[in-house]
Structure 1
Amino acid sequence: MGTRPVLVYDGDCGFCTSAARFAERRVRPRCAVTAWQDADLAALGVTRQRAEYEVLWVTPAGRVYGGAAAVAKALLSAGRGWAVPGAVLELPGVRRVAGAGYRWVARNRARLPGATAACALPADRRPGAR
């Protein structure tokens, strides 16, 4: 593992790819941004199943955050004005709501702007299906 965190997203999903590119251009998190399909998941300590399930933030020490927590970590790492919403997303009451919002977006990503057919996960692998 490197010295920078890694933000791992679904490179087959148009919506996820658009979101990752937006983050790289506008948010500028201090991390490597990579599609799980291009990542060495074993080296990151992440399973393919988890990478397909949610966006991931992997620290250099190997700690893995998923979903809304990963988004919060990316925002915090960017600093500037982005750290404020990142910190808010980590507040206990907000964290629960953010998690529910993330799961809604993940379940419906095939219907969102930039989506492709690859965005639709099988029903048993959608967030909240567990």
Structure 2
Amino acid sequence: MRERPVLVYDGDCGFCTSSVRFLERRVPVDATVVAFQFADLDALGTTAERAEHEVLWIDRAGRVSGGAEAIGRLLTAAGGPWRALGVLMRVPPVSWAAHVVYRLVANNRQRMPGGTAACALPAARRPGASG
């Protein structure tokens, strides 16, 4: 059992970083927030490939959720009015729509506010990547 849940995001993506900072300011959730580039992904039970593809939520029991479901679980964990939104996001047909919207945004994050051309590249091909 982990002490706190963990939110894992792409720290090289300006849009992802801005989105996480927005969540930290607006959503009162007690979680560890870490860029996947600095996380021990093996210990968290996930891979860099998955973390490059979607935001991840690892709950206290170690269950890994990704994408829209991860956001739904984060909101649920925040409690208050956020809880209702988080639960709703995880129930069909809303969950189906949330998944489509999440993938649309994630696949076009380089075009979103704060996004850069580097956001579109796989992590291994981004400027400054070792490799």
TM-score (norm: length of structure 2) = 0.88
CA RMSD of aligned residues (A): 1.2
Is the Cα contact below 8 Å between 1:30 and 1:74 reproduced in 2? no
The amino acid of 1:60's aligned partner reads R
Q: CA deviation at 1:105?
A: 0.3
The reply to whether residue 98 of structure 1 matches residue 110 of structure 2 is no
After TM superposition, give the deviation of residue 62 of structure 1 in Å. 1.5
- Segments ≥4 residues shifted beyond 6 Å: none
Which residue number corresponds to residue 66 of structure 1?
66
CA separation in 1, counterparts of 2:75 and 2:22?
Answer: 12
Matched residue count: 122
Q: Which residue of 1 aligns with 2:7?
A: 7
Contact 1:88 1:94 in 2 (8 A): yes
Query: What letter corresponds to residue 58 of structure 2 in structure 1?
Result: V
1:121–1:28 CA distance, 2 compared to 1 (3 A): farther
Structure 2 CA distance, aligned partners of 1:121 and 1:108? 11
Cα distance in structure 2, aligned partners of 1:53 and 1:119: 11
User: Map of 1:76-91 to 2, 5 A cutoff?
Assistant: 76-91=76-91
Residue number in structure 1 paired with 2:126: none
| Runs of 5+ unmatched residues, structure 1 | 123-130
TM score, norm. by length of structure 1: 0.89
Aligned to 2:48: 48
CA deviation after TM superposition for structure 1 residue 2, in Å: 3.1
Partner amino acid, structure 1, of 2:34? T
Q: Which runs of 5+ in 2 are unaligned?
A: 123-131
